[in-house]
Amino acid sequence: MPEKNKRVLCKDLGLIDYKVCWDYQEELQQKIVAQKTINRSLSEAEQQPTNNYLLFVEHPHVYTLGKSGDENNLLISGEFLKSINATYYKINRGGDITYHGPGQLVVYPILDLENFFTDIHKYLRLLEEVVIKIMADYNLTVGRSRGETGVWLDADTKKARKICAIGVHCSRWVTKHGLAFNVNADMSYFQHIVPCGITDKAVTSLEKELGKKVDMQEIKQKFKKYFVEVF
């Protein structure tokens, strides 16, 4: 086996079209998978370590539906989508429908989990843990909701509201897609979907909970800090 590479290259892509970024994720993932395939035919001394990436982005208004999602959870027509300057994609991550837009930090870790651990459930829990630690810096107590992926305030109560959605795809232990953290997002866009297919719980943002906008660069720095800590 080649030496495990736990270094992660962080790239801030700014505001970027969803499809352009999806294609870029695919490119990075396939390069890592290709290197793993090549390594199998090489001696241990010749094998090359695989790369890992952490992409920070914001997207123009877009709705995405996971491979097991229900299209009925998009509550608006194609014409209405155009009227609110939003697009819609069916994609190959897990989970149901969600929204991405300006003011929401979207993080795409493109990791070879064989550099870290081969446990997708552990991977999801650690992504949640990064956001939980960020929220604690703002004196907000958040947690997990039983049987549901993501990060919640007042989880498992009637006041439960989701602040971070997670949906990933993994091929040969190389990850794609990731998480959407509502920092200063326009929450009105969530009114046009059944977020994550969950009908009995609300969504929220850090801005809404704190009553003020939060510096996105500050959130990115905290995310990097805690990502290193938990991984």
Torsions phi, psi for 212 (to 5 deg): -160, 155
Taking phi over 0 as left and psi of -120 to 50 as alpha, with beta for the rest, 35 belongs to: alpha
164 labelled catalytic: no
- Assess contact for 170 and 113: CB atoms under 8 A: yes
Could you tell me the two tokens for 12? Answer: 């801030």
| Count of helix runs (H) and strand runs (E) in the chain | 5, 11
The length of the chain in residues reads 231
Count CB neighbours of 68 within 10 A.
Answer: 11
Q: Given the residues 10, 164, 170, 196, select the one marked as catalytic.
A: 196
Residues with catalytic roles: 196
